[in-house]
Structure formats: structure tokens, C-alpha cells
């Protein structure tokens, strides 16, 4: 890429378009059987680089996709189920306990529409109880699933032959899902109780290195620098020195690349919970001193993530500024994947946050995208989804 220009993403798009078959053949060669059936990937595009910053295996925004994207999702789900589970007739979708969240219920309605078009019999199930009255009023029926031997039973002896998780299992794996004789997608080890962002970033970056070595591209253009700290307690101010030290080291490393590419921005890094999602446990800083001087209110906000789980491990990740805008607000694109194929995108924007901040926070809104997916968005989100299958996850249960 031309280091005198901040148009590296445009150059990358051209390269990917011109070498489409070679690139797709390379991606096919890296795809494992355990690559997840669906995912969503948050992409940050700075113009001078583009990379995934989060890969979610339990997407909850199908309601934000356009009609054409929903059509592709139907097509790719059909291909997946016919290829991998041709005999399956009944699919149970385990949902989150957000039965009073209108956006999540809208998502479930669209997901049901998509899955109903696969020819499977679908039921949304909860491990905590049946539909709330609010969910029923919104047109979403949720059944209670109970364990029966090593399988699940839903209403009137309806027994699923396959389980699809739309619940991220942040706290733990419920007993109902342990050691089932029927397949669970994705594998329960990928819940946030055991999955780590650092493992994902590592495997993604390893694949990036292999790709860039073969095609003579600077890996930094499509990846982020990161490091991590364990044994952290924001409440007790433990481990903050580790975070501060690694922030300063990462800032120096990023600045060297900025100098190389003549980028005038000031480096920023994210401090993220190593597990969990929904934008919880995330702040951005410019130096380690900001961490050492962090106030009590901010420490408390970082101490606990979804499900009241204590945040004891963090990832320190290079922040990518964004050139994407919705009206006058900074935005980022979210790519939706089904069977390792990109089906479409929509934008997340935030009316309170700046160009290098976490947009998945208060003030966030979603907007349909009128733009086609760029080749670089499709490639990086595909590679991120493929990387999931390579993650080394330590998962044990009693």
C-alpha cells in the first residue's frame, strides 16, 4: 500500500476485487467445519486501515437488515441446514432473557421469519420461563424448555433435534444444555463464560499474517495491536499498573505505524473486558496515567459486566478511528454473516461519542445501510468468522 496516502482501504478494495478468486480460494482453504453458522462483526474503517473490533456469535440485530439481506440470510441458512443437518426437522432457538426489550423482540421476529423459510419447525425457547405478556403482545411466543434425560422437551412433548443459541451464556452454561445428545450451535464453550476476546484477536491476527505474507500486504492495515492483563479488580484498584504499563507500550507501537504512514492522529486504545459484550466494561484512553488516575465512578462501571459478572481480565486494544458518518454522527458498520458468508450490513452511530470512542454505549442508534458492502468489509468479517474456529478455549464443567 502507498505509505504517502491515507487511502489504504480504497487500495485494498481494488486489490480484493481484482484478485477475488485467489482471495476466496485462500479463505476456503482456511475454513474449518466448526466455523460458526452465524455471527456479526463490528468493523472500523479509518480510511488508512480497516479491521474488525468485535465478533459476536449470538447476533441480535437481524431486524436492522434490509429486505435483500434477509433474502440472502434465508438462502444461506437453507444451504447450511441441508448440508450439515439434512434429517433435522425441529429446531429450538435458545433466546436471551430480554423479554421486555422491544428491539430484541423485533430481532426475534425477523429471525423467526428467516428460519421458518428453511422448512424447519422452529420454536423460541427460554431456560428461565415462558413468554412475558409483553413479548406475546409483540408477537413473539417463547416456550419454556426443560431437560429430559440428555435432551430438551418443550411444550406438549415437542422435542427438538437441534439447538441454536441466541443467548451468549455470559454467566455460565445452564444445566439444561450440558452434555446433550442433540447438537448445539455454536458449541456451548463459545459462550462468554469461557470465550476470551484475546484468543479471538490472536487467531484473527495469525490468519492475517498468513494472508498478508502470501499477498504482500502490511498486516497492520487489516488488524489491530492488542495485549492483555489478568487478575484485575477495578473495585480494589488491583492490576491497574499492568494496564497502565501496557497502554503506554501499545501507544508507542501504534505511534510508530502512524509515523510510517504519515498519520497525524493521536493514538488511542480501548480497555475492554476480555469476555462479555453489549459494550459493557469498555473505555478509551490515550496514556497509562489516565488509568492510574481513574475515578471511582468509572472504576465501578468497569468492575461488572452483563449478568453481574466481575470483570477480572481486560484486553488493551488499538482503537481505530472512523470515517463513517450517519448525518453528523460518527458511525461504524456491522456485517452480518450466515454460514461464513456476508449477507448485509447496517450502521451503528452514537450522538454522544467521538471519532475514536466506543459507539456501542449510551446514545447509540442503528440505521439501515444504503451502501453495498465494500470488498474489505466482506473480507475482514469473513476472516474474523473463520478465526473463531481456531480459538483455543479452556472450558471445563463439573
pLDDT in tens, 58-94: 999 999 999 999 999 999 999 999 999 999 999 999 9
Residue showing cell 421486555: 100
pLDDT at 49: 97
The pLDDT of residue 276 is above 80: no
pLDDT at 237: 87
pLDDT in tens, 363-372: 999 998 889 9
Domain boundaries along the sequence of the chain: 8-59+195-388, 62-190
Choose between 254 and 392: higher pLDDT. 254
Question: Cα–Cα distance between 364 and 348 in angstroms, integer?
Answer: 7
pLDDT at 398: 44
pLDDT in tens, 106-122: 999 999 999 999 999 99
Question: Cα–Cα distance between 220 and 260 in angstroms, integer?
Answer: 11
What pTM does this model have? 0.94
The pLDDT of residue 342 is above 60: yes
The pLDDT of residue 395 is above 60: no
Range of lowest pLDDT (188-197, 309-318, 360-369): 309-318
- If one counts every other C-beta atom within 10 angstroms of the C-beta of residue 264, the result is 6
Quick one: CATH architecture of 62-190?
3-Layer(aba) Sandwich (3.40)
Question: Cα–Cα distance between 313 and 322 in angstroms, integer?
Answer: 27
The pLDDT of residue 2 is above 60: no
Mean pLDDT of 283-312: 81
Put residue 110 in one of left, alpha, beta given phi > 0 → left and psi -120 to 50 → alpha.
alpha
Length of the chain: 398
The pLDDT of residue 310 is above 80: no
pLDDT at 299: 81
Mean pLDDT across the chain: 91
- Pairing mode, strands 184-185 and 142-144: unpaired
Choose between 323 and 98: higher pLDDT. 323
Q: Angle at Cα 20 formed by Cα 14 and Cα 26, nearest 5°?
A: 125
Output b/e per residue, 205-237; b: 16+ Cβ within 10 A.
Answer: bebbeebbeeeebebbbbbbbbbbbeebebeee
Distances (CA, A) of 332 to 50, 53, 208, 360, 378: 11, 10, 21, 10, 14
pLDDT at 304: 66
- If one counts every other C-beta atom within 10 angstroms of the C-beta of residue 59, the result is 20
pLDDT at 221: 98
The confidence band for 127, taking pLDDT boundaries of 50, 70 and 90, is confident
Highest mean pLDDT among 66-70, 167-171, 305-309: 66-70
Mean pLDDT of 161-178: 92
Amino acid at each position: 500500500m502507498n505509505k504517502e496516502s491515507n487511502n489504504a482501504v480504497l487500495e485494498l478494495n481494488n486489490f480484493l476485487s481484482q484478485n477475488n478468486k485467489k482471495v476466496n480460494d485462500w479463505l476456503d482453504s482456511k475454513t474449518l467445519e466448526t466455523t460458526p453458522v452465524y455471527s456479526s462483526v463490528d468493523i472500523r474503517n479509518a480510511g488508512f486501515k480497516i479491521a474488525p473490533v468485535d465478533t459476536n456469535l449470538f447476533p441480535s440485530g437481524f431486524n436492522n437488515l434490509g429486505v435483500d439481506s434477509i433474502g440472502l440470510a434465508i438462502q444461506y441458512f437453507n444451504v447450511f441446514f441441508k448440508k450439515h443437518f439434512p434429517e433435522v426437522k425441529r429446531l429450538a432457538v435458545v433466546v436471551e432473557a430480554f423479554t421486555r426489550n422491544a428491539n430484541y423482540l423485533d430481532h426475534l421476529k425477523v429471525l423467526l421469519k428467516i428460519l421458518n423459510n428453511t422448512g424447519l419447525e422452529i420454536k423460541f425457547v427460554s431456560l428461565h420461563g415462558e413468554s412475558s405478556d409483553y413479548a406475546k403482545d409483540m408477537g413473539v411466543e417463547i416456550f419454556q424448555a426443560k431437560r429430559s434425560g440428555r435432551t430438551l422437551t418443550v411444550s406438549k412433548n415437542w422435542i427438538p433435534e437441534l439447538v441454536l443459541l441466541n443467548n451468549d451464556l455470559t454467566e455460565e452454561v445452564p444445566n439444561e444444555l450440558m452434555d446433550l445428545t442433540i447438537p448445539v450451535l455454536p458449541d456451548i464453550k463459545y459462550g462468554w463464560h469461557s470465550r476470551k476476546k484475546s484468543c479471538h484477536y490472536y487467531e484473527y491476527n495469525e490468519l492475517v499474517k498468513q494472508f498478508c505474507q502470501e499477498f504482500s500486504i502490511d498486516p497492520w492495515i487489516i488488524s489491530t495491536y492488542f495485549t492483555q492483563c489478568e487478575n484485575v479488580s477495578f473495585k480494589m484498584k488491583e492490576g491497574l499498573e499492568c494496564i497502565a504499563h501496557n497502554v503506554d507500550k501499545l501507544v508507542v507501537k501504534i505511534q510508530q505505524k502512524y509515523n510510517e504512514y504519515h498519520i497525524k492522529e493521536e493514538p488511542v486504545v480501548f480497555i475492554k473486558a476480555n469476555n462479555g459484550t453489549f459494550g459493557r466494561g469498555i473505555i478509551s484512553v490515550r496514556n497509562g496515567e489516565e488509568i492510574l488516575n481513574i475515578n471511582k465512578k468509572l472504576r465501578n462501571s468497569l468492575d461488572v459486566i452483563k449478568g453481574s459478572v466481575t470483570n477480572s481480565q481486560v484486553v488493551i486494544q488499538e482503537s481505530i478511528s472512523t470515517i463513517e458518518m450517519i448525518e453528523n454522527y460518527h458511525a461504524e458498520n456491522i456485517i452480518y454473516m450466515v454460514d461464513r458468508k456476508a449477507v448485509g450490513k447496517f450502521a451503528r452511530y452514537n450522538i454522544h461519542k467521538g471519532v475514536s470512542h466506543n459507539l456501542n454505549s449510551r446514545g447509540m442508534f442503528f440505521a439501515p445501510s444504503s451502501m453495498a458492502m465494500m470488498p474489505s468489509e466482506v473480507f475482514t468479517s469473513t476472516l474474523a468468522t473463520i478465526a473463531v474456529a481456531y480459538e483455543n478455549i479452556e472450558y471445563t464443567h463439573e
